[in-house]
Chains A and B, each alone.
Chain A
Amino acid sequence: MIDRILDLFFGPNPEFRQIVAVTLRMSLFSTLISTLLGVPLGVLIGANEFRAKPLVSRLVDTLMGIPPVVGGLVVFLLLSRSGPLGSLKLLYTVTAMVIAQVLLITPIITGMASNIVSIRAPSIRETCHGLGIPPGRRLWYTILECRVPFISIVLAGFGRAIAEVGAVQMVGGNIQFKTRTMTTAIMMQSNMGYFDLAVALGIVLLIISFTINSLVHFIQDMERRD
């Protein structure tokens, strides 16, 4: 079995490489879009006091815990032929998978960013107000002060994206050489009793997870030593 796994890693198997490539492409794009949406939203919610803030925070918290299959179902219904966005013909494409992932990860990044910002924002706001620093620059300093936790949040989002299976399976369809990702492939292969590819992909997932965690620790250590 080890031979066959090593062959998958270093041999000419096109499917293995294709699955890893699709997974990375989907995870990177969905994390990028979720970051562009989630971090500014989190900063806005965390740094400001407004009447509807408790309601908005509860809503974000609820969406943070949305089950992936429910997120997948929503996107599936939106993109299916009879759905409102059916004409775009996006179902069973990597784009559909990215949309589903964005729906799942954006609330997580928003909620975590908002929590981080709301811890620091009151003190920064009061200090900047006392110094006559205008609100725009106050917000910029708040973002700068949260830079390290933000990086950890984005990496956590990427970790979530790469490990997701339910929504991706629903809207991507696990199509060979098209939308098959590491997680959907592992599920299918192990269901079929073919464990070589499943174990090889599992190892890749673990390596990626280890790399992400190492990166988070490295950034935090650098910040501590700086």
Chain B
Amino acid sequence: MIEIADLRVVMADRTILDLPRLEIHAGRRYGLIGENGSGKTTLLRVLAGTLLPDAGNIRGLDPRTMGYLPQSPYVFSFNVLRNVVLALQESPTAEKDALAALEKVGMASFTRHRADRLSGGEAQRVALARLLAKAHQVLLLDEPSSATDIRGMDAIEQVLLDYWESNACTLVFSTHSPAQALRLAQEVIYLEDGQIVEMGSADELLRSPKHPKTRAFLNHWLIDQQINHSA
């Protein structure tokens, strides 16, 4: 279990993350939702260790077994296969594992293409394959399918669910889509102004939010859901 206590991140005199307490249970899937600037990326960056908090501590997170996909992952100006292999260099089966990972995200036919020439969605899938080619105990993903189309999004979600199941890992991801959170997460955390407003099981929080702020955030999506339901 990852335990977060009294975590605080301040930037330019503004508190952008303030979490007195948060527990992330091993083997569960967590979705972070909230508006732009709500603190989703900051929380993931602090957990990943790429941003040092101003206060607080995190326990139970081993950086060696953690994998993190930033919001705009860098794809190197090598070919697609080499981009994935570079994350596996200690492994004797690096190339085989890289090909398998690329196959899973539907990028196996692009192995010889230059990764920095791919479209945003394709590059995102390569970056995901690069991360998923290795086994991680904790996976932190910042909007893992933000650049992909609906079909690509479905494929990515399935790949993530398969990976989670076969590695029994903890998954923490951020998304702008409540629908994606519902499909992919078991637990959902709604953040606003760097604070947790509401947290609970995905089904419960997304279908019947208790806090007025969560309801306001989910309003449009809930109305769409009701229309679809009654249709």
Cβ of B217 under 8 Å from chain A = no
Question: Other than the known A131-B131, A144-B77, what 11 A-B pairs have Cβ atoms closer than 8 Å?
Answer: A123-B70, A123-B74, A126-B50, A126-B74, A127-B70, A127-B127, A129-B48, A130-B48, A132-B63, A132-B67, A141-B76
CA distance A137 to B89 in the complex (A): 11
Partner of A131, one of B49, B67, B114: B67
CA distance A131 to B66 in the complex (A): 8
Known A124-B74, A226-B114; judge A133-B67 contact (CB<8 A). Answer: no
**Which residues on A sit within 8 Å (CB–CB) of B69?**
130
CA distance A188 to B89 in the complex (A): 60
- Whether A132 contacts B49 by the Cβ 8 Å rule is no
**Which residues on B sit within 8 Å (CB–CB) of A131?**
67, 86-87, 130-131, 134
**Which residues on B sit within 8 Å (CB–CB) of A144?**
76-77
- Whether A129 contacts B68 by the Cβ 8 Å rule is yes
Closest Cβ of chain B to A61, distance in Å, is 24
CA distance A30 to B183 in the complex (A): 62
Closest Cβ of chain B to A155, distance in Å, is 20
Cβ of B20 under 8 Å from chain A = no
- Whether B50 contacts A145 by the Cβ 8 Å rule is no
- Whether A145 contacts B77 by the Cβ 8 Å rule is yes
- Whether A125 contacts B76 by the Cβ 8 Å rule is no
**Which residues on A sit within 8 Å (CB–CB) of B114?**
226
Binding site for B on A (CB under 8 A): 120, 123-133, 137, 141, 144-145, 226
Bitwise interface map of B from 86 to 99 toward A, beta carbon under 8 Å scored 1, else 0: 11010000000000
CA distance A129 to B69 in the complex (A): 9
Partner of B86, one of A120, A126, A141, A226: A141
Complex: chain B residue closest to A131, CB-CB: B87
Closest Cβ of chain A to B115, distance in Å, is 11
**Which residues on B sit within 8 Å (CB–CB) of A125?**
50
Binding site for A on B (CB under 8 A): 45, 48-50, 63-64, 66-70, 72-74, 76-77, 86-87, 89, 114, 127, 130-131, 134, 140
**Which residues on A sit within 8 Å (CB–CB) of B76?**
141, 144-145
**Which residues on B sit within 8 Å (CB–CB) of A226?**
114
Complex: chain B residue closest to A148, CB-CB: B77
- Whether B74 contacts A133 by the Cβ 8 Å rule is no
- Whether B70 contacts A126 by the Cβ 8 Å rule is yes
Complex: chain A residue closest to B65, CB-CB: A132
Known A125-B50, A145-B77; judge A130-B68 contact (CB<8 A). Answer: yes
CA distance A141 to B64 in the complex (A): 20
- Whether A127 contacts B73 by the Cβ 8 Å rule is yes
**Which residues on A sit within 8 Å (CB–CB) of B64?**
132
CA distance A124 to B134 in the complex (A): 19
- Whether B50 contacts A129 by the Cβ 8 Å rule is yes
**Which residues on B sit within 8 Å (CB–CB) of A126?**
45, 48, 50, 68, 70, 74
Partner of A130, one of B77, B86, B131: B131
**Which residues on B sit within 8 Å (CB–CB) of A129?**
48-50, 68
**Which residues on B sit within 8 Å (CB–CB) of A120?**
74
Closest Cβ of chain B to A224, distance in Å, is 10
Report, nearest first, the 7 A-B pairs whose CB atoms are least far apart.
Answer: A130-B68, A127-B74, A131-B87, A123-B74, A126-B70, A126-B50, A124-B74
Closest Cβ of chain B to A48, distance in Å, is 14
CA distance A129 to B134 in the complex (A): 14
